[in-house]
């Protein structure tokens, strides 16, 4: 966005909190941060979960936090369901999120029947445009226009 083009895999779904979702088996989704989110955060170096396997979570619940060169941010559940896996390799080395956000940098798996909350790639692209427009208005002090 801005001077950069947002590119992302078209074989996945996306959440409005800038997480991608890949269905690993029926109603089981692997989530990670999109390249867009990683670019905004810059150099992720710490990841912490406040949920464990097999926690039951609701959509938008606070589930952890992530720290980077640019910011510390809370992580929220992209879907309600049951946490079935946490990527221990990324917990040990969060820099994998920077190096391979759509592969080895995945973070969490959730079993959920609420996949209708996820966006297809075109819906996510539209969301990025809308979110960028809002961000630009906020930066310029015009959030309510």
Work out the pLDDT band at 56, boundaries 50, 70, 90.
very high
Q: Stretch 92-117: mean pLDDT, rounded? A: 96
Q: Stretch 60-82: mean pLDDT, rounded? A: 95
Work out the pLDDT band at 97, boundaries 50, 70, 90.
very high
Q: Stretch 78-98: mean pLDDT, rounded? A: 97
* The domain over range 13-139 is classified in CATH as 2.40.50.100: yes
CB 38 within 8 A of CB 103: no
Q: In angstroms, rounded to a whole number, what is the distance separating the alpha carbons of residues 107 and 75?
A: 11
pLDDT, residue 131, reads: 82
Record the pTM. 0.88
pLDDT, residue 74, reads: 95
């Amino acid at each position: 966005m801005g001077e950069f083009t947002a590119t992302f895999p078209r074989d996945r779904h996306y959440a409005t909190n800038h997480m991608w979702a890949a269905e690993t088996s029926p109603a089981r989704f692997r989530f990670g941060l999109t390249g867009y989110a990683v670019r905004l955060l810059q150099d992720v170096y710490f990841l912490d979960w406040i949920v464990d396997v097999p926690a039951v979570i609701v959509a938008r619940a606070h589930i952890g936090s992530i720290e980077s060169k640019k910011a510390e941010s809370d992580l929220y559940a992209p879907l309600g369901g049951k946490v079935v896996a946490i990527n221990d390799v990324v917990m040990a080395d969060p820099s994998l999120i920077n190096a391979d956000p759509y592969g080895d940098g995945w973070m969490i798996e959730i079993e959920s029947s609420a996949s209708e909350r996820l966006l297809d790639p075109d819906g996510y692209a539209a969301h990025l445009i809308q979110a960028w427009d809002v961000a630009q208005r906020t930066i310029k002090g015009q959030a309510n226009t």
